[in-house]
Every structure is written in C-alpha cells, then in structure tokens.
Amino acid sequence: MLDLMPSLGSWRPAVSGQLCAVATIVGTGGSVPRPMGTSMMVSESGEILGSLSGGCVEGAVVEAALEAMRDGGPRLESFGYSSEDAFAVGLTCGGELEVHIQPLKAGMPELSAFTGPTAHDHQNPPPLALIRRLDAQGGAVVVHDPVRFRAMESEGLAKLLGDHPATLFAAAAQIEPLLQGGRAGLVRLAPPEGCIDGWVTLDRWDNPREEPEPQPITLFVESRLPAARMLVFGANDFGAALLPAGQLLGYNVTLCDARPAFAQQNRFAGADQVVTDWPHRYLESEAAAGRIDTRTVVCVLTHDPKFDIPLLETALNLKLAYIGAMGSRRSHRQRIDALLDKGTPAEALERLHSPIGLELGAVTPAEVAVSITAEIVAARGSRPGNAAFRSLKDSSGPIHSTTTTDPETQEDPWT
C-alpha cells in the first residue's frame, strides 16, 4: 500500500470519505510484473488508483473488491495462467499472484495516516511502514520510524496481536528485519493459547458438534525508508555519467572530490549533494554521523592511489551494500597489495568489486555507467552475473573487448 501514498492524499474517493478497498499483492510465484506490496485502491463507485499487473488481472480484482465492500469481509484471491483456457483471468507471463483484498472505512488508520500534509510528497516521501493483520480479526499499525521501531515496545502492535506477550516476542524477530530493510513480506505466527477464531467438528462419534480451534495470525509488513545513498568519489567524466544513472535507480547521489576546481564544475550540479573533501575523511564522518547504512553504495572512480587506498580501507571496514573501484587489472593488483600491506583482511577484499562493473565491453563514460549500475543491481539482488554478463572482478583478460592488448599489461583508457 505504500506505493499509493504519494497519490492517496489527493485521490478524490479517499479524501471525500467514500468506502474503498485495497488490493495488495501478498504472494508471488514465477515471473510476475510487480513485487509483493504493490497495491491498487478501488472505491465504491468503481474508481481505481494504481495497478497490480499492468492489465492482466485488474478487471477481476475490481470485481472482487466491489464484492468485498458489499459484504464487508476481506478475501484472498489467486491468479495464475491456464494453458487450457486462454480466455481465463490470469497472468500471460506464467507467474502466480496472491492478492489480499480488504475493505477500508473512512477514518481507518490505513487512510487517515496517508492523507496528511507529508503523505503526498513525491520528492521526499517520509519513512513509513504499515503492519496489517490479514486474518479475520483485521486491523493495522502505522510505523513512522521503521529503522528505530522496536516491536516489544509497541502498544499498537501488542493490541493488534491480542496482547499476547509470547506472540509479540515471536513477531518481533520477523517484523523488525523487514522494517529496517525497507522490505515487504508476510509474517505468519502460531495462534496464542486460548485464541478462538475458527471452528472444527469434534465430539462423540454419535453426537458431532462444533468446538473452537485456534487459528494462525497472518501479518503483512510494508516498509519504506529514505532513498539509499550512492557515494561517487571522483569528479571526472565517469562520475558525471554515473550521477543520473544512480538517480534513475532511486539512489540519493553524492559526488565527493578533494579538488575544488574539479568538484565545482557545472556538470556535477545535478547531484543531490556535491562535497569537497578528502574521500576517506568524508566517508568516516558520514559513518560516524549515522548517515551510512547497509544499503549504501560506494563507487570509487578517482583512480589515484593517494585517494583510493585510504578510502577503500575505510569502506571495507563498514557494512555497505556495494563497494566498487575503477582501474585496470594491473591497478587492481597494486591496490590489493597496498590494502593487504595496511592490514585489510583478505576476506574483506572479497567484497571489493574491482575492476568495477559488469563485463559488457563498456568504453564510453555512459557505457561504463551502465556497466556499474548493472553490477549494483545484480549485487543488490544477490544474483551473480551469468556466463554472458560476468562481473569484471570475476573474469580475466582485457576489460574492453575491442582491444587485443595482452591482459597482463592491459591499461584502462579511463586513466
């Protein structure tokens, strides 16, 4: 539901108090067009906000949402692909979706929390998370500081779970990593003792009767954090090309260079921040101030040992999502030797993407920016490059496929 927030504050049915229903993807399988957490709102008058699949299942979801508003109960719908019935509602891509549909009344937390003055800030959406109970009991908790949220201290979450301390303790272990990582996911909890939400048939063989059976608790967690940071070190042609590429991926991009005459050029004005400082000193200060986290990406494009070595030494001591350094294979070997001499553990060097980027045969600054961002995406999803597109750090031979230079002496034109 978080994906709708920038528009929800100005969506007429929501602000006018109409009955609405939210349809959210809570399970996926195979190839699907949108990830878990993607939502679509449907009003009682049939107006729609958002999309779940680009058109494959929207019509059926709208019908299910209108039905849910009529009977007032949530439901779970499944959509897949049937080769036997080409005209059936489903995903032509072959994937599977589970869609939870929940009627929402005006004034409920899901709506009131998302129609405030900052909810529709497209440029700087605030950190926010939503914990929804998907089983029959329903309800939701809005979290305004996902990183610092502590489940055991939350009165709202305790109430949502029925004030069962053991259940709250079990929920904390699953909920907090999702919130702090800015991710969406299902949390399933064993029913607490004494909880009665369902029925089974039990009794003597000659006199069956219905008695309560505890039902599991199902929560859906969505978390949105401030944009992850990309720190680009090196005010050069490659840095200028990487700035918009990083922003296209949703990063907040900082350019840092120790040389004022280089950093203050107009071509770097599009960066979110431009900093003139020694690279390692800036990274140390940002880490000390708590402005670096496990989603941060560091791209070292300075190609100068006096900047690179202390910067990489600092970066490899931090928990970062990605650390890449530009240079030839010879420069890489020299860099590794220098870092080892300074006491950097060999296992830490395994995290260094050097030479930086995927093996795409990139030459121009724009092509190199594509190579770097492609490797960042692969690293972010923990999916190593395949045989066709390997990381340069995992391959050997010339960096640029159009050259015939001896790989042992191959030098970068980037210098």
Please, are residues 128 and 224 in contact by the beta-carbon 8 Å criterion? yes
Residue 163 dihedral angles phi and psi, to the nearest 5°: 55, 45
Give the tens place of pLDDT for each residue, 179-222. 988 889 999 998 876 554 443 333 444 455 555 566 789 999 99
Q: Map out the domains of the chain with their CATH numbers.
A: 1-122 (no CATH), 127-226 (no CATH), 229-394 (3.40.50.720)
Q: What angle do CA 374, 379, 380 make, to 5 degrees?
A: 95
Nearest by Cα to 64 from 79, 86, 82, 80: 79
User: What are the structure tokens assigned to 114, written together?
Assistant: 């998302």
Please, are residues 358 and 369 in contact by the beta-carbon 8 Å criterion? no
pLDDT at position 281:
97
* CA-CA-CA-CA dihedral for 48, 50, 55, 59, to nearest 10: -30
Collect all residues with Cβ–Cβ distance below 8 Å to 17 and sequence separation of at least 6.
Answer: 106
Give the tens place of pLDDT for each residue, 295-340. 999 999 998 999 999 999 999 999 999 999 998 888 889 999 999 9
Mean pLDDT, the chain, whole residue set: 81
CA distance 108 to 112: 6
Across 213-237, b (16+ Cβ under 10 Å) vs e yields eeeebbbbbbbbbebbbbbbbbbbb
pLDDT at position 410:
43
Mean pLDDT of 120-135: 76
User: pTM (2 decimals)?
Assistant: 0.67
pLDDT at position 154:
94
Kind and range of the H or E run holding 323: strand 322-325
Question: Is the pLDDT assigned to residue 175 strictly greater than 90?
Answer: yes
Collect all residues with Cβ–Cβ distance below 8 Å to 337 and sequence separation of at least 6.
Answer: none
